[in-house]
Structure 1
Amino acid sequence: MAEIYKYAKRYRSQIVAALDANPTTKRTQLQHKFEQVIALMEDNIYECCSEA
């Protein structure tokens, strides 16, 4: 999961642009869902780091 997060964070702008350009993903609001997942993972990573 951490590797997927690293990839998503590194290519975030390109992924968001691609999701926004596709009519199907735009209709299903996949870009917004992707951003929510990234935000949740950032919060979880912060909590893990602060507990150490």
Structure 2
Amino acid sequence: MAEIYKYAKRYRPQIMAALEANPTARRTQLQHKFEQVVALMENNIYECYKEAAAP
């Protein structure tokens, strides 16, 4: 999961542009869904770091 997050974060602008350019992706709102997944992954990663750092 962490590898997918790293890929998504690194290539986010390109992924967003490709989703915006694709009519099917626009119709199914994949760009918005992609943003939601990235946001959820960011929150989960930060939560994991907090738990690991807690005494």
Shorter-chain TM-score category? Answer: over 0.9
Percent identity over paired residues: 83
Q: Which runs of 5+ in 2 are unaligned?
A: none
Q: TM-score, normalised by structure 2?
A: 0.91
Coordinate RMSD, CA, aligned: 0.5
Q: TM-score, normalised by structure 1?
A: 0.96
Larger radius of gyration: 2
Count the aligned residue pairs.
Answer: 52
Q: CA deviation at 1:2?
A: 1.0
Match of 2:48 in 1: 48
Q: Which runs of 5+ in 1 are unaligned?
A: none
Superposed structure 1 runs of 4+ greater than 6 Å apart = none
